[in-house]
Amino acid sequence: MNTRPIFALALLASAACAQAQSTQEPTNLLEDGSFELANQAAGTWGFYQGSQATGWYAVGDNSLIELRNNLVGTAQNGSSFAELDSQNGNSTMTQDFSTVAGQTYYLSFYYSSRPASDVYNGSCCSVVPAESNGLSFNVGSGWTAAPALPANQTYDNVWNYFTTSFVAASATTTLSFMATGLSDTFGTSLDNVKVWTDTPPVPEPATLALMVAGLAAIGARVRRQQKSS
């Protein structure tokens, strides 16, 4: 019996299974973690107070969430990103999301020191000093500082990836971010914030269909060869 066609079909099904396990990203439990739903116009910035930024809440009367659309740096994901040291100085923003007490969750985000700019970084200098930058986060167990970054000598964001895990204490968890550098309107860039569980991802429909088709083809080939032998 010629087993090469069966072997090839088996490889196809195996590849589909591997793709189903690896390509599906986990569901983000946060709303607008990439700050796109505000529809900030290209090449502009805007200030968002209270709940004006979809999914996020600026805490306090003077707190502002600054969103920039590929201005003084480009986004890590999409076209917009956030800064919490806006025209009113250092600010805090939060988002509540549903959790299960005792369940492990994962938080990740990208952050960068503010890029250099000859136009938008004030009259003192194009490169913002390292001490102007700084970002801390809180998922209910106290504030944690993201690892400090050096001054950004480039004219674009230099995105750094950070991830950690936490165990939810209740049915609702609050994620908070706070600017912690000098309160001088030149702060850390933040983008692509995600929270997810450790539940295995569900295969995408197209990948699942490919996997089923491959397995069915193997079965049909085996049956035909059994009949002809």
Contacts of 181 (CB under 8 A, 6+ apart): 85, 90, 131, 132, 133, 134, 135, 187, 188
The pTM of the full predicted model, rounded to 2 decimals, is 0.77
CB atoms within 10 A of CB 134: 22
Residue 177 belongs to a domain: yes
- Residue 107 maps to a domain: yes
In a domain, 182, yes or no: yes
CATH number for the domain harbouring residue 161: 2.60.120.260
CA atoms within 13 A on the CB side of 8: 4
Residue 158 lies in a domain: yes
Overall number of domains in the chain: 1
Q: What is the extent of the structural domain holding 52?
A: 22-197
**pLDDT tens track for 112-145:** 999 999 888 876 678 989 999 999 999 999 999 9
Neighbour tally for 1: CB within 10 Å: 8
Residues 6+ apart with CB under 8 A from 216: none
Residue at 204 is within a domain: no
CA–CA gap between residue 154 and residue 151 (Å, rounded): 9
Tell me, yes or no, whether 1 lies in a domain.
Answer: no
Residue 211 resides in a domain: no
Whether 220 is covered by a domain: the verdict is: no
Strands 172-179 and 144-145: unpaired
Burial class (CB in 10 A: 0-12, 13-18, 19+), 184: middle
| pLDDT tens digits along 151-204 | 999 999 999 999 999 999 999 999 999 999 999 999 999 999 999 997 544 554
- CB count within 10 Å of CB 34 equals 20
* pLDDT band (50, 70, 90) for residue 22: very low
